[in-house]
Homo-oligomer: A and B are copies of this chain.
């Protein structure tokens, strides 16, 4: 019954064998990172726009309460994406900055793609926010090509 049982289904791979199962596992994996990605992307943006990223601004942008942000920032710090000192604003580590850049890139491509498809910018922004965490590199390349072509 375990997913390592080589007699399961038809294929003798390691792993789930069913591509649908792989898809679900991939999605669950992606979902775990979504929030962290939203945070680092937003932190980079705030630093760029306002010179610093304060919990109160992060909370306002995300639409959550400040204590929620505080707790999440602790986790991001623990995971090496940001550094922070008590009662001070937040900084990205190199890792965090790299992730933010990557997220911004994906976000831009998805957004441009949706707009070039004919979507209004507001809906495009909302959809891009949800979609960007779930597009493979391959899809991203197709999106970018489409947006450039049209």
Residues of A that sit less than 8 Å from B by CB: 1, 3, 8, 16, 18-28, 30-31, 34, 38, 56, 60-63, 114, 117-120, 122-123, 125-131, 133-136, 138-139, 142-143, 146
Contacts and interface: CB of A to CB of B under 8 A. Distances in A.
Given A31-B34, A131-B131, A142-B118, A125 B23 contact: yes
B134 A119 contact: no
Contact of A135 (B23, B38, B127): B127
> Which of A61, A125, A131: most chain B CB closer than 10 A?
A131
Contacts of A146: 117
Contact of A23 (B30, B126, B139): B126
